[in-house]
């Protein structure tokens, strides 16, 4: 007698049966996901997603009149994107189609604002490498920091927050690699190429925290500005106190606008990001090397866990080719560098 063929091996017409394990898993998932109310659940998550999208969309309209709230928001704006995956997990756990659809709004807006920074825009070429570093007036190892700066191999180096007692040590440690230098107040410029037209730049501080020099590179003269804008503070009773920083930024922007040389480089700690509308007098006329030729956000502060790009290299009349951060030194800021095409 012929034994009947097992129903698990083949169907009656000889074809292979469907994968019942997989179909069973899909059925169980659909039963878990689709009970009544999947459109009504997660309303709170959906509302939060919409509000997040609105904040990202209208961030430039958030007023600065109360505690400079707009600037504070714009300083850390990229981090708001972390709320999207959190809300996504919550929407899935709540089995809410409404929340998932609502999450499209902040996702699309965030990608529109910052998606370009996620790609590598580095390109070959470049004939001038520049570096800027806030070395921290309380740096416990200025000699080690100077050694790291020299090892980076830049043609032009700008240092900010030079303590009066430490400036001679940096001058000594950098002298062999950079025969030309000038220190003005708490900022300094070191160069492999001759400097001329060195002068301080008044940024309404009462003491010198900005300078300008013309650098005679093999590819033409470049006006180099070094600036350390005032620090900002977040205070419980005053919000984001940035009034002095904002005034200094306006003065710096005016000085750059009045520059007679075509090619301009700005190096320094601006205590603000490219998104901060308070720096518009500078950012409106110059390009960020990180945005134009970087790979990622290039956060530079604080060095222990970088959360914002407040150390900037910006250019006018010059093509950025690459931009990057360097390893941590004895400072609370990371050094940042860029490779530029001048000729």
Residue 78 has pLDDT above 90, yes or no: yes
Residue pair 202/327 in contact (Cβ under 8 Å)? The answer is no
Per-residue confidence (pLDDT) for residue 30, from 0 to 100: 58
Reported as a pLDDT band with limits 50, 70 and 90, residue 8 is very low
CA distance linking residue 85 with residue 87, whole number of Å:
5
Torsion, Cα 126 128 129 131, to 10 degrees, reads -140
Residue 6 has pLDDT above 60, yes or no: no
CA distance linking residue 326 with residue 316, whole number of Å:
23
Mean pLDDT of 184-201: 98
CA distance linking residue 56 with residue 59, whole number of Å:
5
Q: How far apart are the first and last CA of the chain?
A: 92
Per-residue confidence (pLDDT) for residue 5, from 0 to 100: 46
Residue pair 142/169 in contact (Cβ under 8 Å)? The answer is yes
Reported as a pLDDT band with limits 50, 70 and 90, residue 63 is confident
Average pLDDT, the chain: 89
Mean pLDDT of 230-251: 72
Q: Compute CA distances 125 → 122, 322, 337, whole Å.
A: 10, 9, 15
- Residues 6+ away with beta carbon under 8 Å from 306: 299, 300, 325, 334
Mean pLDDT of 180-192: 98
pLDDT digit string, tens, across residues 130-170:
999 999 999 999 999 999 999 999 999 999 999 999 999 99
Per-residue confidence (pLDDT) for residue 239, from 0 to 100: 46
Mean pLDDT of 41-55: 95
Reported as a pLDDT band with limits 50, 70 and 90, residue 89 is very high
Mean pLDDT of 194-208: 96
Per-residue confidence (pLDDT) for residue 232, from 0 to 100: 76
Mean pLDDT of 202-217: 96
């Amino acid at each position: 007698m012929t034994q009947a063929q097992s129903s698990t091996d083949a169907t009656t017409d000889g074809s292979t049966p469907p994968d019942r394990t997989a179909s069973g898993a899909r059925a169980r998932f659909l039963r878990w996901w689709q009970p009544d109310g999947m459109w009504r659940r997660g309303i709170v998550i959906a509302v939060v997603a919409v509000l997040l999208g609105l904040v990202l969309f209208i961030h430039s309209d958030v007023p600065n009149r109360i505690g400079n709230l707009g600037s504070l928001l714009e300083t850390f704006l990229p981090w708001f994107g972390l709320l999207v995956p959190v809300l996504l997990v919550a929407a899935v756990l709540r089995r809410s189609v409404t929340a998932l659809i609502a999450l499209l709004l902040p996702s699309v807006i965030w990608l529109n604002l910052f998606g370009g920074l996620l790609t590598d825009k580095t390109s070959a070429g470049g004939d001038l490498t520049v570096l800027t570093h806030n070395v921290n007036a309380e740096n416990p190892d200025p000699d080690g920091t100077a050694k790291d700066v020299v090892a980076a191999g830049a043609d032009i180096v700008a240092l900010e927050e030079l303590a009066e007692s430490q400036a001679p040590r940096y001058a000594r440690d950098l002298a062999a690699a950079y025969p030309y230098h000038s220190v003005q107040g708490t900022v300094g410029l070191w160069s492999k190429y001759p400097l001329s037209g060195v002068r301080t730049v008044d940024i309404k501080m009462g003491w010198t925290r900005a300078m300008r020099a013309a650098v005679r590179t093999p590819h033409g003269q470049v006006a180099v500005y070094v600036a350390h804008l005032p620090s900002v503070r977040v205070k419980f009773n005053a919000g984001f106190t940035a009034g002095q920083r904002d005034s200094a930024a306006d003065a710096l922007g005016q000085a750059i606008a009045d520059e007679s040389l075509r090619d301009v480089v700005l190096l320094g700690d601006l205590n603000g990001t490219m998104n901060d509308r308070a720096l518009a007098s500078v950012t409106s006329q110059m390009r960020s090397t990180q945005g134009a030729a970087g790979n990622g956000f290039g956060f530079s502060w604080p060095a222990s866990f970088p959360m914002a790009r407040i150390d900037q290299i910006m250019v006018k009349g010059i093509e950025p080719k690459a931009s990057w951060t360097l390893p941590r030194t004895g400072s609370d800021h990371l050094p940042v560098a860029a490779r530029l095409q001048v000729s």
